[in-house]
Structure 1
Amino acid sequence: MKEKIQQFLESDLLEQYLLETTGPEESARVERYIAMYPEVRDSYLELQENLEAYAKLHAVRAPEGLRERILQRVRNERAGRRRFMRYAVAASIAALFFAGASFWFYNQNQNLQVENDLVNNKIRVLEADMKEQLEDVRNQFIVLNNPGTRKFMVNGNQKARELKAIAYVNPVKKLSYINVRKLPNLPEDKDYQMWAEVNGEMVNLGVIRNYEDKDKLMALPYGEKGLSYITIEPKGGNTTPSVQNIVADFSY
């Protein structure tokens, strides 16, 4: 029975249930386990508290003033339409200028349409960005709280003895993250850069620096045989890793 409960806890059903992504049968199974087994109920309550705290910590706010700018754009469009109607009446009276006025109004309407499309595109980009950030927060929550997650301590070599990092790998959800806790100082013309070799393919993960937020996680591409490096590169990063300048590496 203990093995059965342990297998259940190591799955991600509790996390999915909390995030409301389970189907009816899975939800019923989770609720049955919560009611029957105290250790499952304790894990559920702990995950619930962690999720609430994590969501508050990583709450995504819309850019300042976005709502006001959108409302002002709508007001301007409505005012533009009212002006259009007044000018149209005037143009019907002044038939002599009708052709020129119609052309001007057409241009005005086209400009309004272009501006409206720009606003709509910005809103869509913002929504997609927020969705991506929320998905990343969800994945981080699963990795940090799932019992099946493996943790690896990463230390620098002789070139960067003070380098400290922690890697988290969850084979159930196929998610990998790294938390770079400390990086030794570098000359101003140098940067640290993260790389990942997954299934024989090298991936550039970009420049990394010391963060004020020591709990910040960087996503790693997941693979059955993953290998990550941290190298010292010229300022701004490099297109290929400088193998002779590897300061830390770990496999997962």
Structure 2
Amino acid sequence: MTEKIKIFLDTDLLEKYLLGATSTEESLQVERYIAMYPEVRETYNELQENLEAFAKLHALKVPVGLKDTILHKIRQQKRGTSKFLKYAIAASFAALIFAGSSYFFYNQNKNLQEENTLVTNKIKDLELDMQVQLEDIRNQYIVLNNPNTKKYSVRGNKKAEELKAVAYVNPVKKLSYINVSNLPQLPEDKCFQMWAEVNGEMVNLGIIKDIDDKDKLWAMPYADNAIGYITIEQQGGNATPTVQNIVANINY
């Protein structure tokens, strides 16, 4: 645990945050630490659980008629009536306030728990997206720099003579990518779509949206004797390739 996290945990900011007693600036700091540091998040979850257990233990409803019972007993007392009455009423209201505050903290804790779950899920999604992106970048680096990678030039047919692309295939690492360096202009209601035929199954690789992005590498599923296609489809893409609109074959 770093000194920075230890100093933060030694403060009472987490407890104040759970009770809704932090300022806007303090709340932002607490939420940032919870999102960034697992040690802080674990301590926060433990405090939540302890608060919920406390709230459940003490969140008791005031029995019906408790106040009337107390007042009835007071009337039966012959001595110290006035003084005892004040104490009894105070105790009754104290019980009501305590029960109400316990219920308030219980609800507050449930809301915080739901918010914490939402934040945790967002963090997990971001971590998963980051892992996928890092894995893709690592694979691109391997394909472009590994001596076992083979390059295949791809040219368009008569329907798209300006089309140029290069396929990169590494049979050792079993990775395949394609870089589309040039595409002809299409009408607004048309688009280019990429496909790969792997083990007899056609896989949709997506629409080529930005024809100006000449450095983009498109990942292709690897398989022995796989074939890639580029087709012209209606804007928005198609679920299956339009065979008569194939403009390029990619044999890899």
TM-score higher than 0.5: yes
Percent identity between the two aligned chains: 65
List alignment gaps of at least 5 residues for structure 1.
1-67
CA 116–155 in structure 1, closer or farther in 2 if over 3 Å, else same: same
Q: In terms of mean alpha carbon deviation, does 212-221 or 193-202 score higher? A: 212-221
The secondary structure found in structure 2 opposite 1:241 is coil
1:237 is matched with 237
Q: Is the 8 A contact 1:195 1:205 kept in 2?
A: yes
CA offset at residue 250 of structure 1?
A: 1.7
* Structure 2 equivalent of residue 165 of structure 1: 165
2:31 aligned residue = 73
CA contact 1:183–1:209 (8 Å) conserved in 2:
no
Given the superposition, is the C-alpha separation of residues 106 and 216 from structure 1 closer, same or farther in structure 2, using an over 3 Å criterion? same
- Change in Cα spacing, 1:126 to 1:75, as seen in structure 2 (3 Å) is closer
Q: Is the 8 A contact 2:154 2:166 kept in 1?
A: yes
2:232 matched to 1:246?
Answer: no
Is 1:177 the counterpart of 2:135 in the alignment?
no
Residue by residue, what CA displacement relative to the aligned partner does 1:184-230 show, whole Å, maximum 9, x if unpaired? 11111111100000111110111113344421101000000100111
Counterpart in the other structure of 1:94: 94
Is the 2:189–2:235 contact (alpha carbons within 8 Å) kept by the matching residues of 1?
yes
Determine if contact 1:196/1:202 at 8 Å carries over to the other structure. yes
Report the counterpart of residue 220 of structure 1 in structure 2.
220
Whether contact under 8 Å (2:176, 2:219) holds in the other structure is: yes
Kept in 2: contact 1:182–1:210 (CA 8 A): no
Q: C-alpha separation between the residues in 2 aligned to 1:103 and 1:70?
A: 26
Structure 1 length normalisation: TM-score? 0.63
Q: 1:180-191 alignment to 2 at 5 Å?
A: 180-191=180-191
Larger relative contact order (CA 8 Å, sep ≥ 6): 1
Cα pair distance change 1:179/1:129, threshold 3 Å: same
Q: 2:202 and 2:113 mapped to 1: Cα distance?
A: 45
- CA, structure 1 residues 248+70, in 2 after alignment: closer, same or farther (shift >3 Å)? farther
Tell me if structure 2 keeps the 8 A contact 1:158–1:247.
yes
Work out the number of aligned pairs and report it.
178
The 8 Å contact of residues 181 and 210 in structure 1, kept in 2 or not, is answered as no
Distance 1:71 1:203, change over 3 A: farther
Matches within 5 A, 1:143-158: 143-158=143-158
On the 8 A contact 1:156/1:163 being kept in 2, the answer is: yes
User: Contact 1:149–1:168 (CA<8 Å) still a contact in 2?
Assistant: yes
Alpha-carbon distance between aligned partners in 2 of 1:154 and 1:69, rounded to the nearest angstrom:
56
Q: Give runs of aligned pairs for residues 111-122 of structure 1, distance below 5 A.
A: 111-122=111-122
The Cα shift of 1:238 comes to: 0.5
SS at 1:153 equivalent: strand
Change (3 A) 1:245 1:212: closer
Q: Would the aligned equivalents of 2:196 and 2:227 in 1 still touch at CA under 8 Å?
A: yes
**1:146 Cα deviation (Å)?**
1.0
Q: What is the letter of the counterpart of residue 222 of structure 2?
A: Y
1-structure distance, mates of 2:127, 2:199: 33
Q: Which amino acid aligns with 2:127?
A: E
Distance 1:104 1:210 in 2: 54
Find the residue that maps to 1:128 and give its secondary structure. Answer: helix
Offset of residue 74 of structure 1: 5.7
In structure 2, the CA distance between the partners of 1:95 and 1:75, relative to structure 1 (3 Å rule), is farther
Q: How well do the aligned residues superpose, as a CA RMSD in angstroms?
A: 3.0
Q: Secondary structure in 2 aligned to 1:173?
A: coil
Return 5+ residue gaps in structure 2 as ranges. 1-25, 35-40, 52-57, 59-90
Say which one has the larger Rg: 2
- Find runs of 4+ consecutive structure 1 residues off by over 4 angstroms: 74-78
